[in-house]
A = this chain, B = another copy of it.
Amino acid sequence: MKIAIQGVLGSFHHQVAQQYFGESIAVFGFNTFEEVAKSVENGTVDFAVMAIENSIAGAILPNYDIIDRHDLFVVDEYYLPISHNLMALPGQQLSAIREARSHPMALLQCKHFFASHPGILPVDDVDTAYVAKVIAEQKLQGLAAVASTKAAEYYGLEILARDIQTVKDNFTRFIILQKDKPAPGIAPTKASLKITVRNEKGVLAKLLTVMSEHDLDLTKIQSIPVMSKPWEYTFFIDTLIADEGQFKTAIDLIEAKYGNVKIFGAYQNRK
């Protein structure tokens, strides 16, 4: 089975791909989420694993737009606990580490660790696993990466401090994508939608009232500027589904009264 991810191997994406699909898969890393989506669309891979909500990689917010443009389907979601680890070339003591590089948000999430280790200077870099890769390839002494245990394992680095993040119960949400619409299975408890409405006074308030009245509890909403069509607004919405019948009724009502609904997927809530 072929799985597409964004970024280098050893990343959080890589970890989720193996936890979700098992170890006997081929994982392909692409530079951009756009290329990940293209690889699913043109059949190069069977599935993609894509981060859609977390507090590290802010760049994941546009991913629903990418899913929309490539007409992919969301078949499932997966929550990975955020775990940051300080890692370096094997054989070094913690006291030998002078600098730690990682994504700025990862470093921010470990600020208590760095406050209690003033001898280690945290320095912003572009990615978490990428720093691990560079340390391993260039055999850089005295420098550490803040990344996943998967990155340490993949690049042969030694973990000097585990779970150094300040907040311990933080998760990243991933979605599993495929090209074809999945066959109906057991009743879905969550859905990802794109709703496009005419820009009329209070239309969003009315639309959300309809959803609330049908026991659809929003877990995410994001407006997308459609600047070339100033009379239209598009929203990406994730919602919990209490009852599938109520969900269908609400979608029909929204389509009849407010605008167009595209369902990226209706799946199981894993939280």
Residue numbers of A with Cβ under 8 A of B are 31-32, 34-35, 53-55, 58-59, 61-62, 65, 69, 104-105, 108, 124, 126, 167, 169-171, 173, 201-202, 204-205, 208-209, 211-213, 217-223, 225, 227-228, 235
Contact = CB atoms under 8 A, between A and B. Distances in A.
Contacts of A201: 212, 217
Contacts of A212: 201-202, 205
A167 B221 CA distance: 26
A34 B173 CA distance: 23
A198 to B, nearest CB: 13
Contacts of A173: 225
A211 B203 CA distance: 12
Contact of A223 (B169, B221, B227): B221
Contacts of A61: 58, 61-62, 222
Contacts of A169: 227-228
B217 A211 contact: no
Contacts of A219: 223
A156 B2 CA distance: 44
A38 B212 CA distance: 40
A225 B65 CA distance: 18
